[in-house]
Structure 1
Amino acid sequence: MVHSNRCGYTYIGESGRESCCYRETWDDRERCIWHEEIAADETKPVEQLERARAPPEVRDLNGETGPREILDGTDVRGTVFPDGMDLAGVSLRDTDMAEVGLRNATLTGASLADATLVDADLRGADLRGANCWEAELNDIHLGEATLEGADLRAADCSDAILRAANLEGANLEGAFFDRADLFDATLSRTRSYGAVFSEARANEGTELDERCVYDHNSDADATRQRRESGAVRSDGGQASDTTVAGSDIDPLTKAEATYQELESLCSENALLSRQSQYFVRRQDIHTEEHWREGNWSRWLRARLSRAVVLYGESPFRVLSVTVAIIVGSALLYPLGLLRVSATGQPLMYPSPTEPIALVSTLIDSLYFSVLTFTTMTFGLYSPVGAGKLLTMLETSAGIVLMALLVFVFGRRATR
């Protein structure tokens, strides 16, 4: 039984059991100042909100075994709290905090699951390890905020301002960042499978991992294992379908989808080198999948594509292979594989004691190799024996590599 001067608001605690708010009612209203619903144009006095909280020593004692304070289901819309407000370890699940002011607030380890923080101002706030599962963070201002290790799974961060925010190690699976401002933000070591960055804004200062945490080649693999999410929410409820489904998906599939989303993000913001980087990572995943599936022909083609043209991303790699073939062939021709057409004399390496003749022979051989590669031979030399096979192979390689070079340059130009 709840006394008439007590709030009586009921909520489901982290243990899954129903609990009741026992704070005193606010003036002549039915609920306490934290749980009383207010009109759209009404705000609550900050001084009274603070007085209705548990004393600091009680919060510290509670924090040893659970939340420092439980403020689930409260309504503080439009309230502007003083800078540096201490809400560390506080449970604020399903709280309406739309348009609140919490600049530089301390919310480390706080639970904001299912909370509404639309258009809230949390600039410079500390949300390390906070649980923002499925929270509504549309239009929130989190500039220069710290969200290291925060849980933002399935959160809606559309149009959020995250400029210079630190999200290192945060879980962003299934979150929405449509049109979010990510300038100079840190998103390294984040779990981003299923996250959507459509029309999000990023720049060169936006810190992204070269390899996502799902990629077994990532140096964050150990971190990924520690942060592996389960099907049960940290606040006691069941995980959403998005996360439950994602928990059983193969890491390679997660890595491929993550690279594709990051590639799109970089493409939309003209970060071409990073776009190319994530495209290559995604193709590497495809290659590994071919190997696991036993599709050897596709695996071999993919490996050759990576070695020669880096999946169409590197003209310099094509040029490197070109130089290697020309020089390698030039070193083989003086082994009796060529004859001088005018005299019939074989082109052979001279004695090591004749350095000038050696240089002259190498220049002649390199000259013939370049002409053969570019299919412009002038008939000064004639291949003999195995030299005929070598010239055919070099000519074929030249045709293919020159076509690939045009393709790669054209691909980069159109991008």
Structure 2
Amino acid sequence: MSGKVCGFKARNGWQCDQQAGESGLCYWHDPNVDKRHHDVKADVEAWAASGRPLDGFQLARTNLTDIHLVNRGNKQGYSCQGADFYRANLTEAHCFGLDLRNASLMKANLLRANLNCTHLDGSNLLGADMARTGLENVDWGEQFKQERLAFLEKDPSRRQSLFQESEEVCRNIRKQCEKQGLFDVAGYFFKKEMRFRRYQMPTFSFQRALSKTVDLFCGYGEDPLRVVIFSVLVIVSCALAYFALGTTQANPIYPDLTGVEARFYELLNALYFSVVTFTTLGYGDITPSGFARFIAAFEAFLGSFTMALFVVVFVKKMTR
């Protein structure tokens, strides 16, 4: 062993002060040191309790069953950014509030572990066993590792593979959240899962275009507000078309108005007629003329479909 200090430096500037081996890294930060047969749980707990970060720790395949990494009495959990827990046994681990940003939990055993309030932005959760894992109030971040790499990847086959992995990660999280009654989180990851599936489709294909339309239209059945916004856009667009093409009113309400006021009330009539047509009420006091009839027929069809879809999406959302 040399007298050199470990060359690991965290993103926040923290420098490890442990003695380095031949690789220039210490026991904890050297990925080439096989720790699978080492009993490191107590040492890792002691390191965290000393106030030093666990950033960059290489703990692949280690047995960390029931490890306690909760920073008691402090709102901010221990920092474990960029750590490697590949295939580590974290069964019943206590990780409340742990900062696991950019960490690898790939194929880790997280059975009955407590990940409540953890930070997982940029982490790798591919193949992680999260059966009965506590996932309440988790800060999932903007992107997981595979998602972030996929949008940067230039090679089509590699990008396809990364999107498949991203879909698998989201599906796994969604299923676990559904089992725990975290339906809002499950809905969020269902949308991400469907989007990653769409990204795997040929760019110029009917399937991808249809998937994109469903996403924009209703967020894959998870966003009723999008249906409402779409409905308002259809009503306003058709109202402008009726105003431009003209409609016929059986009994004009304001026969004496002229100029700007008359045009304004014509616009209101067009908007009223558009709402009546979209909702398929069809009072008959105003009728379209010319090409506006075809627009009215299309709006009526679209309105009946959209309202039925809204009921389905809304009920699905509320009955959870």
1:65 aligns with 2:7: no
Query: Relative CO higher for 1 or 2, CA cutoff 8 Å, sep ≥ 6?
Result: 2
**Counterparts of 2:21 and 2:42, CA distance in 1:** 28
Alignment partner for residue 183 of structure 1, among 116, 127, 136?
116
Task: Write the deviation string for residues 317-345 of structure 1: whole angstroms up to 9, x where unpaired.
Answer: 111111111111111112344222358xx
The alpha-carbon distance between structure 1 residues 167 and 216, as it changes in their structure 2 partners (threshold 3 A), is closer
The AA in structure 2 aligned to 1:276 is G
User: Which structure 2 residue ranges, 5 or more long, are not aligned?
Assistant: 7-18, 72-77
Provide the residue aligned with 1:326 in structure 2.
Answer: 235
Normalising to structure 2: TM-score of the pair? 0.80
The alpha-carbon distance between structure 1 residues 331 and 94, as it changes in their structure 2 partners (threshold 3 A), is closer
RMSD: 3.2
User: Which structure 1 residue ranges, 5 or more long, are not aligned?
Assistant: 1-53, 71-86, 107-121, 226-246
**Counterparts of 1:390 and 1:251, CA distance in 2:** 44
Provide the residue aligned with 1:142 in structure 2.
Answer: 69
The alpha-carbon distance between structure 1 residues 92 and 194, as it changes in their structure 2 partners (threshold 3 A), is closer
The alpha-carbon distance between structure 1 residues 376 and 88, as it changes in their structure 2 partners (threshold 3 A), is closer
The AA in structure 2 aligned to 1:154 is R
The alpha-carbon distance between structure 1 residues 217 and 361, as it changes in their structure 2 partners (threshold 3 A), is farther
The AA in structure 2 aligned to 1:93 is K
The AA in structure 2 aligned to 1:383 is P
**Counterparts of 1:174 and 1:88, CA distance in 2:** 20
List aligned pairs for 1:124-203, cutoff 5 A: 126-144=53-71, 145-203=78-136
1:311 aligns with 2:253: no
How many aligned residue pairs are there?
295
The AA in structure 1 aligned to 2:193 is R
The alpha-carbon distance between structure 1 residues 210 and 261, as it changes in their structure 2 partners (threshold 3 A), is farther
* Higher helix proportion (structure 1 or 2): 2
1:393 aligns with 2:294: no
The AA in structure 1 aligned to 2:97 is A
Provide the residue aligned with 2:10 in structure 1.
Answer: none
The AA in structure 2 aligned to 1:150 is A
The alpha-carbon distance between structure 1 residues 171 and 210, as it changes in their structure 2 partners (threshold 3 A), is same
Contact preservation (8 Å) 1:211, 1:281: no
1:100 aligns with 2:9: no
Larger Rg: 1 or 2?
A: 1
List aligned pairs for 1:1-400, cutoff 5 A: 58=3, 60=5, 63=20, 65-66=22-23, 93-97=35-39, 100=42, 103-105=45-47, 126-144=53-71, 145-204=78-137, 206-216=138-148, 250-292=161-203, 296-341=205-250, 354-400=259-305
Residue range with higher mean Cα deviation, 280-289 or 139-148: 139-148
Normalising to structure 1: TM-score of the pair? 0.63
Contact preservation (8 Å) 1:174, 1:195: yes
3-state DSSP of counterpart to 2:247? strand
Task: Write the deviation string for residues 203-248 of structure 1: whole angstroms up to 9, x where unpaired.
Answer: 22x2212322212588xx67x99xxxxxxxxxxxxxxxxxxxxx99
Q: What percent identity do the matched residue pairs reach? A: 22
Which runs of at least 4 in structure 1 moved beyond 6 Å after TM superposition?
67-70, 87-90
